[in-house]
Amino acid sequence: MEDKEGADPGGTEFTSDSSWSLPSGPVDSVSDGVNYFFDRESSILSEFGWNLHPVDHQSHHDIERFAELDRAESCSRPLDLAGNFSASQSCAASAAAAGSGGGGGSSSGTASNPGLSADVSTSNNPSVSSSSSEDPPEKSTGSGGKPPEIPSKARKKGQKRIRQPRFAFMTKSEVDHLEDGYRWRKYGQKAVKNSPFPRSYYRCTNSKCTVKKRVERSSDDPAIVITTYEGQHCHHSVGFPRGGLISHEAAAFAAGQFTPTVSQFYYPGVQLNREILPSITQSQQVPISAAESRSLPEPTPQLPTDEGLLGDMVPPGMRNR
C-alpha cells in the first residue's frame, strides 16, 4: 500500500505503549465544562494537526476534558485541575520542559522528567526525534521507514502494535463523530466491555496518513462522547464546510475555555488565528459558564512562534506569519 513513507513528518513520534485508559471518574469530579489543556497536550494536538470543529447540525458540544492519555497516566492526577491547573503543572511543566525546547517535544527533551516515571521515559525517550525509541527494529522491518502502524496484513503476525501518541477528550455532544476538518473512514466497531455503547474506529482517509481515532460514548454519561486520536496527520485538513480552518484551540479559546499561555498552547499546525476568533465565537456559541471563565487565566495576548517546529509539518502558507 501507499502509506509507507515516513509517516512521521515531524519526527516527533513518541510511542507509548503502556496503559492509557481514560480516567473515567473525573468527569464528574471535575467541574463541568472546564477544559484542561496541558501544554503538552496542546502541543501534541497541533502535532496531530487538529482542527476540532463541531458539526453544523449539532447545537453545541462542550469540550469536557482533554487529556493526553500517555501523560495522564504518568501524572498522578492530571485531570484534577478544576481550577487547580497547577496541580498538574509539575507534570505539565516537566513535560513542557522536555518539549519546550522544541515546543513540540519533538526534540531536545531530556529524560529529566521526574514526574514522568520510567513508564514514559522508556517509551517516550526524548531523543526519538529521528527514530522511535520504542520501535524495535524487528517490527517496522517491513520497509525501513515505514510508519509504525502498518495497515496491512504484513503486520498481523509477529509484529507488535506500536502505539503512537494518543489523545483523548470528552465532549458533550449528540453526535458521535465530531467534525475536525479531516476525513475519516470507519474501519471497525466493537462492543466495549462495561459499556452499552460500541466503540467505533476511524482512520484518516488520506492514504499517507496513519492517524486513527476512536469514538465511543461514556457509559457513565451517554451524553459524553470520548474521542481518542492516535498519531499525527502528515497532511493538512480539508477544511470545514463553513470555510476557513479553525483550530480546536481557537474554538476553545473563543469559548473562553482555552488559555494560550506562552509556549503552552501555540503550535504550528494549529496556530491560533485571532482573526477568525470573532466568527468562531459567533458561529459556535460554545457555552461557557461564568464559573469557568472565572477560573481561567486571561489569555495571553501574544502567541509565541516557533519556527523551528514548523518545519515540515506546516507549509509556509499555513503559518500565521
Residues at the site binding DNA, with contacts judged by CB under 7 A: 17, 19, 149-153, 155-161, 183-194, 199-202, 205, 212, 214
How far apart are CB 228 and DNA at their closest, in Å? 8
How far apart are CB 181 and DNA at their closest, in Å? 14
Which CB, 21 or 59, lies closer to DNA?
Answer: 21
How far apart are CB 216 and DNA at their closest, in Å? 8
SS3 106: coil
Nearest to 72 by CA among 169, 176, 215: 169
Which CB, 237 or 271, lies closer to DNA?
Answer: 237
Which CB, 170 or 250, lies closer to DNA?
Answer: 170
How far apart are CB 295 and DNA at their closest, in Å? 32
Which CB, 199 or 274, lies closer to DNA?
Answer: 199
Which residue in this structure is represented by grid cell 482533554?
66
How far apart are CB 3 and DNA at their closest, in Å? 10
User: Cβ distance 70 to 165 under 8 Å?
Assistant: yes
Which CB, 21 or 302, lies closer to DNA?
Answer: 21
How far apart are CB 154 and DNA at their closest, in Å? 9
Which CB, 69 or 314, lies closer to DNA?
Answer: 69
Compute the distance between CA of residue 200 and CA of residue 190 in angstroms, rounded to an integer: 6
Compute the distance between CA of residue 250 and CA of residue 221 in angstroms, rounded to an integer: 26
The one-letter amino acid code at 128 reads V
Residue 219's contacts (CB-CB under 8 Å, 6 or more residues apart) are 192, 194, 195, 196, 197
